[in-house]
Structure formats: C-alpha cells, structure tokens
DNA sequence: GACTGTGAAACCATTCACAGCT
DNA sequence: AGCTGTGAATGGTTTCACAGTC
C-alpha cells in the first residue's frame, strides 16, 4: 500500500539508486550556488555531477516537477527540495564510536557539520584516549555508551572500531534505540528488522580497482588458470606469489 | 568480441554487481578459514556475507564451477580462485596523497597490506608533515609526485586531500601513468578514457541514512511540502531550520 | 539426500526519443 | 527555440525453481 492520499506526484518511494545520487547532485548544486549560478539546465548539472542528463531528469522527476521547461532548474530552489527530501533540513545527532585515526578524521570532517549532521559524542575504550579533547569534544568511555546516546538523543551511530569490537557495539547502540548505523569496520553487521546499516569499506574499493587494473593488463584466464590442485586440500603450492605466512589474514582493524 | 578461444566457462566479463561483492565473500571466507572451516555451503557462506544464497551461487558461477554438488565449496580453494579473479595474487603498489587524519588511517590500515596492496609512498603539500615518519614511511613532498610514482611503479593512487586540491593532483597522477584512482575527496573527478576512478564519500552514506531515518518518522511530504516561494529567487525564508550562514557551504575538505 | 549451477521469470535501472510547456 | 518530464525500449540484476551431480 502507498501512504495516504495521492497528493500531486512522487507517489512515495524514490528508487534507491536515485537516493544514492541525490547527495551528489546536492554537492554539485552547492558548488554552482557558490559560483553565483542562479539557474542550471539538466545538461549542465548532469555534467557537474558526472552522470548523463536523462538520468538526472528522471531522478529529479521522482521528487516532483521542480524545473521549468525551456529554462532549467533554479539552483536555490532545487537545493532546498533535495535537502528536504533527504531529510537534511533537520539536524541529525551523530555519535562516533572508536577514535582512532579514522574516527578523528570523521570527527573533524567539515562535510558533516555543513549538512546538518551534528557530531555530539566521541567514544572509545582506550583509557589513553578517553578524556582527550578532539574536534571540540571530550572523548567519553565506551561504558557510558547508553547514557551518552540517551543524553544527546543520538539517532545515527558511526562505528569506526576494529572489526572485533564492531558487532557487540552495534548490538548495544541498537538496544539503546539507535536505528541507523554507519559501519566502517570490515565486518557484516547483523541487526534486527527496521534498523538501517550502511557500510563504507576502505579496502573493498581498492580490490575492485585491482580487478579492473588487472583486466587492462591481459587479465588472469590464460596464464595459470588452474595451478591449484583441487581435491587435495591443504595449502599446496598454489598461488603464483605466496604471501608471507605471518600476515595473519584479516580480523584486522580499521585502525593503525 | 570476446577474448580468444572459449575455454571452459566464464566467457570473460563478470557483471559489475558481482565484482563488487567478491571482496565481501573473500572476507567471509578468510574468517571461516581462520576458524578452521574446510568446506562451506552456499547457504552458510551467503549468511556470513549478508546476501542470499541464490545470489551467491550465481555470482560464483561467473567465475567458474568451483563447488561440489551435494557438498559445497572448499574454503581454501575458493579463496584462491576469488583472489586470482580480483587480481590479489599479485602485489599492487599504492601511493597515498594527502596525509591528514584520513591519509594516516589509510596508511596504517591492516586490510590493505594483507590483501596485496603495498603502500609505497605518502605525499603531502604541508611542510609540517613532509619528512615525518608515518606507518614506517617518510612523507614526501608533493612536488616529488611524478618522481615517486616512477620510482616505485605506483599503479594505484589514493587521493585523500581537500576537495580543492583533488582534481589537479588527479591530473598529475594520470599524466604520470597511473590508471586507477581511489578518491576520498568530495568532488567528481574527471579523467580521460581508460582511467578508472572509484569514490568513497564519507558524507554521502550519512545522507542516505538520514533519508531512511526520516522515512521511518513520518517523512516529509505532508508537513511543509511547499513553504518555499518558487519564482521569487534569493534566499527567502525557506527551510524550516536555517543553517548558520557562516558555515561556508562545501568546497570542504576531508581533513580535520 | 544434499547442494550446486543455471535457464526462465520478475524486477529494477538506464537510456532513448519526443510530446508538452514556457 | 529550448529544455523539462515521461512513456516506451533496452539492458542489467535478482530471485525462483529445478535439473544435474555427487
């Protein structure tokens, strides 16, 4: 069922693919706004956002009819409409859990504050960090997690801890009422129905690049496609380049 | 045209969606491997990777027929095959450009080294950082970019600079022969044909979360859908919550 | 009996091309 | 004349369901 009465358009339900691009359009629009541009065509905006214009128009059409035929889109107005659709016209209270290098980078990241994300708390388990002042906030001990979430009305938790700690912390923030989690730890978090998790994985992107890079240079296939003795388990002498056996595979942290 | 003779299967050309999931499977497999698991069914592996089993099987079928009916997949063997397909059985030389908090986090990230990504160089423009030793490397000055790329045979550049510097640096690494770029700066980079760029955007994910979070709580729609005076340009009194006008919109850096 | 590999069906996303408005 | 908004066409991805293999 859809939601209530069918107002004008945008019969609720913007495709995920579109939602994922709206922030990109928003950024491009802000940049145009700063340069004093008042009106922009789908062609121009699409170029600035790195997509093609048909896609841009289809995406925007899901929000409503905010352009003017023969003219284009008014920059300020479109910024407002996209911001509203994304929920950026209200503040979101964010807690960052794990204050290693990544947590610090996130804490100080200007792109959050300027978009309505207010980092209200930093938490860590390491006594050496607890109490320190970072980006204007005092780092609290992870034991205080539930209290801090409650105190500040945190609605989004950012997990920037080692993988080993992530699931347990995720469980705690969810139990404390948080329903949106942004996970930087290299694990698949499981959460109950109704909780949204998004993942940013610093190494997955590199692996995807490696795949394409390899393709450019002849690819795998031919060379040594099957120098692995299937059926004989144990490590055999498989891969062309053995990795030093000490490099304990994974479980690895996001931190230095 | 496909590639040469049609070996067994996997007539070259793995869908992008599949490529993007292979690293996730790989991680799940490594974790199983560490726990001593020898064989895994599509159902179990899918659960560990957070996808459904039909998708997993279809994905793996693009690489080849590496499972055994009635039994499942041999963990070691599958790790090897996926690694090979992703190009992780060879080393990739990476340079990190921009050594703020994010650059540091990346430099020390264990998940890179253990996957065949060798961070060979760190570069920055800030004289206060140049010469410092971070994660076992001495930070070089950005002026030396081309020399460093050449010296080490860098094939992947990671850009972790403020947005304002990103495009120019990207142009330089591309001119120096790099064909894969991982971009953390909040800008759309343009590159010539044949160069692969991937983007990780710390704030886009948060914005997507905000969108869904807002949905849970009644959404926009009803309330104040059109309190913006279209046609009257200038800032009007639009959004429900005005942001402090000082918060200079974007152009913002990834750094603290 | 158990589980993979895969056609076929269903679904979603992108692109095309043009009617419709300004 | 110029540009948006959108049906229709295309292409890609996910899911279903089961034949084939161990």
CATH number at residue B81: 1.10.10.10
Same domain assignment for residues A81 and A125: no
- Chain segment A204-250, per-residue pLDDT in tens: 999 999 999 999 877 554 444 455 554 444 333 333 333 333 333 32
Interatomic distance A169 CA / C16 C1' (Å): 48
Q: What is the pLDDT of residue B131?
A: 98
For A136, the token pair is 């204007």
Residue where one domain finishes, among candidates A202, A218, A233: A202
Interatomic distance B215 CA / D20 C1' (Å): 46
Chain B hits for A219, Cβ within 8 Å:
3, 12
Q: How far is A34 from chain B (nearest CA, A)?
A: 8
B179 CB-contact burial (10 Å; exposed 0-12 / middle 13-18 / buried 19+) = buried
DSSP code at position A224: T
Q: Is residue A49 part of a domain?
A: yes
What is the rounded end-to-end Cα distance, in angstroms, of chain B?
49
The band of B219, judged by pLDDT with boundaries at 50, 70 and 90, is: low
Q: Is residue B237 part of a domain?
A: no
Same domain assignment for residues A142 and A96: yes
Same domain assignment for residues A68 and A108: no
Q: Within 13 Å of residue B226, how many CA atoms lie on the same side as its CB?
A: 9
Residue where one domain finishes, among candidates A154, A174, A202: A202
CA distances, A185 to each of A253, B8, B21 (Å): 7, 38, 16
Q: How far apart are CA A91 and CA A112, in angstroms?
A: 11
Strand C closer than 7 A to residue B67 Cβ = yes
The band of B54, judged by pLDDT with boundaries at 50, 70 and 90, is: very high
Chain B touched by A220 (CB under 8 Å): yes
Chain B touched by A165 (CB under 8 Å): no
* Percentage of residues in chain A having pLDDT higher than 70: 80
Same domain assignment for residues B81 and B119: no
Same domain assignment for residues A120 and A193: yes
For A216, the token pair is 């450019």
Q: Is residue B150 part of a domain?
A: yes
Q: What is the pLDDT of residue B202?
A: 87
Chain B, window 45-104: residues with a beta carbon less than 8 angstroms from a chain A beta carbon: 48-50, 74, 76-77, 80-81, 83-92, 94, 100-102, 104
Same domain assignment for residues A100 and A165: yes
Strand C closer than 7 A to residue A19 Cβ = no
How many independent structural domains does chain B possess? Answer: 2
Same domain assignment for residues A109 and A71: no
Same domain assignment for residues B153 and B79: no
Q: Is residue B243 part of a domain?
A: no
> Across chain A, what does the average pLDDT equal?
85
Q: Is residue B256 part of a domain?
A: no
* Percentage of residues in chain B having pLDDT higher than 90: 75
Q: Is residue B118 part of a domain?
A: yes
Same domain assignment for residues B58 and B146: no
Residue where one domain finishes, among candidates A86, A110, A137: A86
Same domain assignment for residues A80 and A98: no
| Average confidence (pLDDT) per 10 residues, chain A, 256 residues | 38 89 98 97 98 98 97 98 96 97 92 91 98 97 98 98 97 98 97 95 95 82 50 36 33 34
Q: How far apart are CA A209 and CA B194, in angstroms?
A: 12
**Which structural domain, as residue segments, surrounds residue A58?**
16-86
A171: domain CATH number? 3.40.50.720
Strand D closer than 7 A to residue A77 Cβ = no
Chain A touched by B207 (CB under 8 Å): yes
A230 contacts: CB under 8 Å, gap ≥ 6: B74, B77
Same domain assignment for residues B129 and B45: no
Same domain assignment for residues B49 and B119: no
Maximum distance among all alpha carbons in chain A?
69
Chain B hits for A98, Cβ within 8 Å:
none
Backbone Cα Rg of chain B = 23
């Amino acid at each position: 069922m859809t939601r209530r009465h069918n107002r004008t358009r945008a019969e609720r339900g913007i495709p995920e693919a579109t939602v994922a691009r709206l922030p990109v359009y928003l950024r491009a629009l802000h940049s145009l706004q700063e340069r004093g541009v008042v009106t922009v065509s789908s062609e121009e905006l699409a170029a600035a956002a790195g997509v093609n214009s048909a896609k841009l128009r289809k995406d925007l059409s899901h929000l409503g009819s905010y352009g003017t035929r023969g003219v284009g889109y008014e920059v300020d107005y479109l910024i407002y409409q996209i911001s509203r659709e994304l929920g950026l016209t209200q503040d979101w209270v964010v807690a960052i859990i794990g204050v290693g290098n990544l947590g610090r980078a996130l804490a100080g990241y200007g792109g959050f504050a300027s978009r309505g994300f207010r980092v209200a708390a930093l938490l860590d388990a390491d006594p050496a960090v607890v109490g320190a002042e970072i980006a204007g906030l005092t780092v609290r001990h992870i034991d205080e997690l539930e209290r801090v979430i409650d105190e500040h009305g945190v609605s989004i938790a950012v997990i920037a801890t080692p993988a080993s700690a992530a699931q347990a912390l995720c469980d705690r923030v969810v139990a404390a009422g948080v329903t949106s989690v942004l996970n930087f730890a290299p694990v698949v978090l499981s959460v109950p129905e109704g909780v949204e998790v998004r993942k940013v994985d610093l190494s997955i992107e590199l692996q995807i690049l490696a795949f394409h890079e390899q393709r450019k240079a002849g690819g795998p296939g031919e060379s040594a496609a099957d120098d692995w003795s299937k059926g004989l388990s144990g490590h055999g002498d498989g891969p062309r380049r053995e990795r030093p056996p000490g490099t304990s595979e994974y479980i690895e942290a996001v931190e230095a």
